[in-house]
Amino acid sequence: MCGRFVSASPPDQIARYFDAAAPEALLEPSYNVAPTNDVYAVLADGGVRRVDAFHWGLVPVWAKDPKVGARMINARAETLAEKNAYKPAFRRRRCLIPADGFYEWRKVPGQKQKQPYYITRTDGEPLVFAGLWEVWKPKGASGEPTGEELRSCTIITTSANETMRPVHDRMPVILPPSAWDEWLDPGNDDIETLGKLLVPAPPQLIRLTPVSTLVNNVRNKGPELIEPAPEPATLDGLG
């Protein structure tokens, strides 16, 4: 599961990191990206990488209403090749979704409110999630396009590694630079080989930091959300 993440790095910095063209549509920095927000994603176009803005929550081409995307912010790696909503994009429209970090929540014994954690790389580098993207076009009764197309994306998840498992049994697929070209290549439709990239990240790659419950409110978007908070006494020793 990945339901909230941080995207606060400047777009030109993101573009340089991926050796990609910078986005035309600029997004505000957010320390609390939520489903249906716009996010940056990296894709390959004619052999050239570029950063574009996408609606977070994949809307299949056959959807009658784009609101269906709110239920498709994540796609399970194990069933990509089977689900009609994801199979076409898995073959042809794959992307990378950069993040400074993401959030996950853990139950605290004896308390109603869960403890949020901010998950980042231990080396300070950005996280790079495996993603899929799609283009949806509204249509009238006659089947003709009636409005502006919507470009959307989803984050692929896999089983949690040892570091993540105490908090949640799922985590985003984090792709290393060595896999980027293979994943982005739209001419590569070998889904069996591509599926082998969708594995849990090494446990030592990530760290979990407890943070304030301010992140629970999607209207809070500032850097104070990632300030470390005291570990609940009942969870000392996590990770």
| Contact indicator for 119, 106 with CB cutoff of 8 Å | no
| Catalytic residue positions, numbered | 2, 104
Closest to 80 (Cα-Cα) out of 66, 91, 95: 91
Alpha helices in 20-153 (DSSP H): 87-92
CA distance 3 to 8: 16
| Contact indicator for 158, 77 with CB cutoff of 8 Å | yes
| Contact indicator for 116, 230 with CB cutoff of 8 Å | no
Closest to 12 (Cα-Cα) out of 24, 4, 22: 22
**Which 3 state secondary structure label does DSSP give 213?**
helix
| 75, 155, 207, 237 from 168: Cα distances, Å | 16, 16, 14, 16
- Scored b (16 or more CB within 10 A) or e, 93-128 reads bbbbbbbbbbbbbbeeeeeeeebbbbbbbeeeebbb
Which stretch of DSSP H or E encloses residue 103?
strand 101-106
Instruction: Count CB neighbours of 20 within 10 A.
Output: 20
**Which 3 state secondary structure label does DSSP give 121?**
strand
